[in-house]
Every structure is written in structure tokens, then in C-alpha cells.
Amino acid sequence: ISRLGWGRNSVYMKLFILEVAQLTSAYHSGGGLVIVAKDIERAKEIIDGYDHHTRPTQDEWDSATIYDLYGDYEEETYFFPDAGCC
């Protein structure tokens, strides 16, 4: 993924997309998690800094979809909790 005006030779950040079984303390506790960080170690640090129930397992990290981002991006975190059935 690239932003116009930036070269495609250097990776500046990564986009991590995870499906997480324990995202919240709600009855339907799973959901999706998106993190923009320079590497997986930094992504894990970002999640560890949140004071809630989000704790992706190693298997969930291993199954993450990861994209290289080219351009000027900042660290971001997005939570997509399971809305449940009712």
C-alpha cells in the first residue's frame, strides 16, 4: 500500500490485521484488530499498553495478515468488536 509522492523502495510501517478470540470482556468477546506499527514487536507493545481484555494469542499473531506500508504513516490501532447475535 503506497501513498503518492513516496518511493516504493523502503518500507516505513506495517499494517497488521488480526482476528482475535479475546478482544473484549463482552459475551461475544471476539473481533478484529488492526494495528499500524513499524514491526510486530512494536505492534505487541502497543496492544500491551491498553488496559482492557485484548490479548492476542501467539497463534493469532502468527495468523495475522501483514501489509507493508510505503509512505508517511503514524501508529494507529483500530478495534472491531463482535456485535453479537442480538
Q: Residue 54 and residue 20: Cα distance in Å, rounded? A: 8
pLDDT along the chain (86 residues), means of 10: 52 91 80 94 91 83 94 90 76
Looking at residue 10, its pLDDT comes to 61
pTM of the full structure = 0.80
Looking at residue 81, its pLDDT comes to 85
Looking at residue 60, its pLDDT comes to 95
Which class for 85: exposed (0-12), middle (13-18), buried (19 or more C-beta within 10 A)?
exposed
* Cell reading at 8: 516504493
Looking at residue 36, its pLDDT comes to 97
Helix boundaries (H) for the chain = 40-48, 58-62
* Cell reading at 15: 499494517
